[in-house]
Amino acid sequence: MISRTLSRMVFLMASGFLLSACGSQLSIENYNKLQTGQAYEEVRQIIGEPTRCDEMLGVRSCTWGDEKRAINVSFVGGKVLLMSATNLK
């Protein structure tokens, strides 16, 4: 019983650490490093893996974060065309 509780605590702590590490890349400083014309891979190196990407008519729209705090980037031909941010610090 104790080992199961301990395992759950370790899992929760590790999950919290990973989530906070991912969230730390969502900053105004990193957003300001993004530029029109950058490749998808360059953006990914700056702010990590996107939470979600959709593609329609040759435009790939990716979101990092959630509805409360996010970076949104649209790519055409694999290069940044538009970007926006919500509630970054």
Under 8 Å between Cβ of 60 and 45:
no
CATH number at residue 50: 3.30.1450.10
Q: Given this model, what pLDDT does residue 8 score?
A: 57
Which structural domain, as residue segments, surrounds residue 38?
2-86
Q: State the total domains in the chain.
A: 1
pLDDT digits (tens, 9 = 90+) for 1-22: 556 554 554 444 444 444 444 4
Pairwise CA distance, residues 36 & 67, whole Å: 23
| pTM, to two decimals | 0.73
What gap in Å lies between CA 84 and CA 63, rounded to an integer? 10
SS3 23: helix
The Cα–Cα gap between 67 and 82 comes to 18
